[in-house]
């Protein structure tokens, strides 16, 4: 028989299933129906965005940020359709090196003012620590005189499917506070 290890056991063995000791399954009250939101087809949207980018003239295609997420590509296409001048992936407030700073997704030049457009991922930007960082960044951008518009990933996908992306982006920019 092997000698007992002086180290306490940590975690559970690989492959072991985690089981609840209190409730084996969750139930819902009778008569209550849960509506499952249909998610737009990500792969289809990705293919359609790629085709839309390929159809752009070369002069406009250069404005599309190279290393962008799909929601950022959708916003960039909408900004080009709106004929707005913008800079993508622009460091503000010290970039990622300072608390409250960061790389803003889009800096849009509207009239004499500047609107910062932040594209928020539904999962990451809903985490409590990320919500706090986003609020701090929002306040600091406001103090510098920028108007800030947040666009959410799920809203962008749904707007793409519905054919109203340009309208969504335009409304967000006009409503930016």
Q: Which structural domain, as residue segments, surrounds residue 68?
A: 42-175
The number of folded domains in the chain is 1
Report the pLDDT value the prediction gives residue 103, as an integer from 0 to 100.
81
How far, CA to CA in Å, does 78 sit from each of 38, 114, 119, 158, 159?
24, 17, 13, 14, 11
What predicted TM-score, i.e. pTM, was given to this entire model? 0.73
Is residue 71 assigned to a domain?
A: yes
Report the pLDDT value the prediction gives residue 25, as an integer from 0 to 100.
46
Extract the residue ranges of the chain whose pLDDT is less than 70: 1-39, 93-101
CATH of the domain at 166: 3.40.960.10
Distance of CA 100 to the CA centre of its chain: 17
Is residue 170 assigned to a domain?
A: yes
Cβ neighbours for 117, distance < 8 A, ≥ 6 positions apart: 75, 79, 86, 104, 105, 106, 107, 108, 149, 150, 151, 169, 172, 173
Is residue 18 assigned to a domain?
A: no
Is residue 11 assigned to a domain?
A: no
């Amino acid at each position: 028989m092997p000698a007992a290890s002086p180290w306490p056991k940590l975690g559970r063995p690989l492959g072991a299933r985690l089981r609840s000791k209190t409730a084996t399954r969750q139930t819902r009250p009778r008569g209550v129906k849960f509506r499952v939101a249909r998610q737009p087809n990500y792969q289809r949207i990705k293919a359609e965005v790629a085709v839309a980018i390929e159809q752009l003239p070369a002069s406009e295609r250069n404005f599309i940020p190279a290393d962008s997420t799909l929601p950022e590509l959708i916003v960039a296409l909408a900004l080009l359709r709106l004929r707005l001048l913008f800079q993508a992936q622009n460091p503000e407030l010290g970039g990622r090196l300072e608390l409250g700073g960061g790389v803003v997704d889009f800096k849009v030049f509207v009239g004499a003012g500047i609107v910062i457009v932040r594209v928020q991922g539904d999962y990451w930007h809903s985490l409590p620590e990320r919500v706090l960082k986003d609020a701090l960044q929002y306040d600091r951008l406001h103090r510098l005189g920028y108007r800030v518009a947040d666009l959410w990933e799920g809203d962008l996908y749904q707007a793409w499917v519905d054919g109203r992306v340009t309208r969504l982006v335009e409304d967000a920019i006009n409503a930016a506070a």
